[in-house]
Amino acid sequence: MSLHPIWPLWAVLLVALPLVLVCLVMLLRRKDRQIAWLRRLGIALAVGVIAIGPSTMHTTASTVQSNAEIFFVVDRTGSMAAEDYDGTSPRLDGVRHDLDAIVDAFPGARYSIIAWDSQATRQLPLTTDARAVKSWADTVRQELTSFSTGSQVDRPLGALSEALAGAAERNPSNVRLVYFLSDGENTDGEQSSSSAQLESFAPLAPLVDGGAVLGYGTTEGGRMKVWDGFTPTADAPYITDPTNGGAEAVSRIDEETLRTIAEQLGVEYVHRITPDTVEGFTSGIDVQEISADGRREHVIYQPVVWPFATLALVLLVWESFAIARTFPVSRNRLGAVEVR
């Protein structure tokens, strides 16, 4: 058992201690009223014990609160449905695996998700809820094929810039990690990556402390299923290429573009074609070091005041009856009892 005062210690000494001392003095001086003053001494002591807050340790919980802020930038354009990950699985399967694994590698961090297809949107603001990230990863799908307007890997640049700048302003000492997950394919309508002009991610480098650009897909490429929002994937047809006589379209990874983005951000590039460990691009960040100020062992104490509160209540009721009995009683002419 330990003490966790409900009142400040000075208040306990100022209020409870004088009451106890007065009751002790009166108990010794008033031999004819010892029962009454003994009762009052019990009330004063019970109140004093409640004030100093006797408590027992209820439970101990160890939590990690990291000052790492992780920004996932996820490509969900139609090409991410290409079936060339780990054999013939969609590239988004790799994204799901890696999102889960990265979250597990940084327990207690804060996570945010920015996704892009025909436009970039912040899917999840910074949160410590790892389950929210995993739930999003479990349900993420490619954009609706009918809404597709091509891929531009610099499309999330504005949203990411705003998110990083805001985080840096709110918590400048925090560690900010960016994980950019894409196949690097850059097409704007009929424009190929060789002719498209990309905005640079280099201005964001001072706001980024680590992370990686993760590339999905193969040079051989893969076919993509149509996604209309309701047809099961197994029954969906493959996307066709009208510029190639209606043949099935094939998407290929653009590693050159992905390496360029990695260089601009100041992080490494990693080609992800199988669900391997993520340790290679997460272990470089010392979780113990960045969470040293946030690691807490929470000891929860349960106040034990009810026995003393019960005793005080019983003694107060007794005191009330005792005081009531001292009031003089007389009868009026009609025989009614009057209390003076």
Burial class (CB in 10 A: 0-12, 13-18, 19+), 325: exposed
Query: What Rg do the C-alpha atoms of the chain give, in angstroms?
Result: 35
Determine the average pLDDT of the residues in 312-339. Answer: 71
Check whether domain 66-290 has CATH 3.30.300.30, yes or no: no
| pLDDT for position 190 | 45
Return mean pLDDT, the chain: 84
Distance CA 297, CA 302 (A): 16
Per-residue pLDDT tens digits for 231-286: 888 888 898 887 777 888 899 999 999 999 999 999 999 999 999 999 999 987 66
Distance CA 340, CA 327 (A): 6
Stretch (H or E) spanning 94: helix 91-105
> Which percentage of the chain shows pLDDT scores above 70?
85
For tokens 């894409």, what's the residue? Answer: 182
Contacts 24+ apart (CB under 8 A), 169-172: 171/67, 171/69
The three-class DSSP label of residue 337 is strand
Closest CA to 81 of 280, 215, 251, 218: 251
**Residue ranges per structural domain of the chain:** 2-58+299-339, 66-290
User: Structure pTM?
Assistant: 0.67
Distance CA 202, CA 213 (A): 14
Instruction: Give CA angle at 284 (278, 287), nearest 5°.
Output: 90
Per-residue pLDDT tens digits for 119-176: 899 999 999 999 999 999 999 998 887 776 667 899 999 999 999 999 999 998 899 9
194-222 residues labelled b (16+ CB within 10 A) or e (exposed)? eebebeebeebeebbbbbbbbbbbbeebb
Determine the average pLDDT of the residues in 12-38. Answer: 81
Pairing of strands 68-75, 175-182: parallel
Instruction: Annotate 201-258 with DSSP letters as a single string.
Output: SGGGGGG--EEEEEEE--SS-EE-B---SSS-GGGPPBPEEGGGTTEEPEE---HHHH
